[in-house]
Amino acid sequence: MTDTSDDDKYRAPALSKGLDILELLASGAEGLTQVDIAKTLGRTTPEIFRMLMVLRQRGYVELGEGDDRYHLSTKMFEVAHRHPPLRRLTAIAGEAMQKLADALNQSMHLAILSSGRVLVVAQVDCPDNHLTSVRLGAQVPVADTASGRVLAAWMAPPALDRLLAEMAEPEPRRAGFLADLPGVRAAGYCESPSLTIAGVHNLSAPVFDVSGRVAAAVTIPFITRLSGTSTVGPAASRQALVEMAADLSRRMGAGARG
């Protein structure tokens, strides 16, 4: 009798094809045609067509206006937010983040880890006419962000090893990222110049859950306005951010286990 591995035993080809399409569309903002999707995935056009029809009927993908390119809809993001811990986190954080953004005149966002990337799950803007913000739903490389350092700094070694494998960064970037983590953990926050936008000074603090793990990072991409409307400096903003994150942690149940 021929041995069958667990991978072969539990294969679901149709599901795999559907997930391949969703992951491919999630990697680009411009969308892809049916032919492009088939070529990239090494599938035939008819089998991709059938999968796309099902995904459209279920609301996961949509056609662009006036073209034949398929895009992800917002349904995956909406489904993710039905997950109770994430729904509770965003519900608790939203009002507190907006109050602090108004008080500091700085925008901020809440991020979690998702498939080896930083995923922005909440974003609030400050009242100023000029601001720096991160798009809700944006997925950013972990090593490029203060949020990623906060999310990784308190990880147990096995979890951190898995994250590093998912990140698939070149060795110099990986080494630099790892070297930053002890300092973040010792300070209780991450404060650093942005690695992607000149002039932005990132402030990021952890939000812990009832298990003691970092559930999310709340981050201010701090900017200094030449108009003089920045009335709170980076040090005071960082302190206020850390205090808000600690309060969110308490409300998420952190410290409840003796």
Beta bridge partners of 70: 32, 63
The CATH number of 79-251 is 3.30.450.40
Amino acid 81: pLDDT: 54
Contact status, residue 251 vs residue 204, Cβ threshold 8 Å: no
Nearest Cα to 244, choosing from 222, 224, 209, 219?
219
Running DSSP on this structure, what letter comes out for residue 110? E
Amino acid 29: pLDDT: 65
Contact status, residue 84 vs residue 72, Cβ threshold 8 Å: no
Which CATH fold topology does 6-73 show?
Arc Repressor Mutant, subunit A (1.10.10)
Quote the tokens at residue 160.
């951190």
Distance of CA 182 to the CA centre of its chain: 22
d(CA 230, CA 242): 19
Q: What are the residue ranges spanned by the domains of the chain?
A: 6-73, 79-251
Contact status, residue 217 vs residue 241, Cβ threshold 8 Å: no
Give me the helices (H) in the chain, please.
Answer: 6-9, 13-26, 34-41, 45-57, 75-80, 84-104, 146-153, 157-167, 171-187, 234-251
Amino acid 105: pLDDT: 95
d(CA 132, CA 135): 10
Pairing of strands 190-193, 69-72: unpaired
| Sheet with 139-141, edge to edge strand ranges | 139-141, 117-124, 108-114, 214-222, 201-208, 190-193
Q: What angle do CA 9, 11, 12 make, to 5 degrees?
A: 140
Q: Residues 27-86: pLDDT tens digits?
A: 776 788 999 999 999 999 888 988 999 998 888 888 876 678 888 887 776 666 555 567
pLDDT of the chain along its 258 residues, tens only? 444 455 566 677 888 888 889 888 887 767 889 999 999 999 998 889 889 999 988 888 888 766 788 888 877 766 665 555 677 888 889 999 999 999 999 999 999 998 889 999 999 999 988 888 888 888 899 999 999 999 999 999 999 999 998 887 888 888 999 999 999 999 999 999 998 999 999 999 999 988 889 999 999 999 998 887 778 999 999 999 999 999 999 988 887 544
